[in-house]
Amino acid sequence: MKNSVFLIFAALVFSLLVCSCNRQKEERWIQLFNGQDLTGWTPKIVGYEVGDNFANTFRVEDGMIKVRYDGYDSLRDRFGHLFYEKEFSNYKLRVEYRIVGEQCPGAPGWAYKNSGIMVHGQSPESMTLNQDFPTSIEVQLLGSDSLVQRTNMNVCTPGTNVMMYGDLILDHCIQSSSPFNFGEEWVVAEVVVNGNEVIYHILNGDTVMQYQKPQLDERDVTYSKLIDLNGGDKMLSKGTISLQSEGHPIDFRKVELMILE
């Protein structure tokens, strides 16, 4: 009887330890944004050298990364990206964001309530001075209102392609299955990246898109340079992460990452 009680007690202790270890593993998030400044991040804005944060486009205020255009007379296609300093391959990225305010004067109509997260991207140093977007996989962050209704967390492919259901997709943008996001509420966007295998888009806890085999697009002007930088392989297994400035103000209050084994 004593042996049975001991075995039951040991099993309970073991189960508690396993649960505790699993919780610790699940909570092993790396904070890419420290809540105070842009340490670890580098801007690249069209027409400006790497590191030139023209008009203080990317700034930290109230514990958030804010994208603002109060220093612009007109956008004039000066799209920008804020790059994290390291490349990643297998990970989960979680961002909390809200699209706010009025669009920058001169921004294109398609950029209304439009921003994005770029993954598997090229480095900012490898971009040309006037290159609009880094060759990457773009997770679109889109808002809706009475003027426009769009699904959120679509995928776009500047300089790249992806596969879905075994087919190579050559369309530039592909819609997700998400609901519309109205107003200026905070949204939780997660991207699960498994190297060159599968990428998932998760909106407020629901998976709204998945695709496979991200790769360089042979039709793009960056192809020849980037395939050389990628060791002759057009398949993308890793790359940079960047936040977009596309003409509409946006706030990011959390940017965190978990490495996946």
Tokens of 230: 């990628």
Cβ-based neighbour number of residue 141 at 10 Å: 27
By the 8 A CB rule, do 162 and 211 touch? yes
- Report whether CATH 3.90.226.10 matches the domain 32-259: no
Tokens of 173: 């943008």
pLDDT at 87: 98
pLDDT at 6: 47
Predicted structure pTM score: 0.89
pLDDT at 13: 44
Q: Domain limits of the chain?
A: 32-259
**57: nearest Cα among 98, 132, 95, 65:** 65
Question: Digits of tens for pLDDT over the chain (261 positions)?
Answer: 455 544 444 454 455 444 444 544 556 999 999 999 999 999 999 999 999 999 999 999 999 999 999 999 999 999 999 999 999 999 999 999 999 999 999 999 999 999 999 999 999 999 999 999 999 999 999 999 999 999 999 999 999 999 999 999 999 999 999 999 999 999 999 999 999 999 999 999 999 999 999 999 999 999 999 999 999 999 999 999 999 999 999 999 999 999 998
In the block, tokens 């294109």 appear at 108
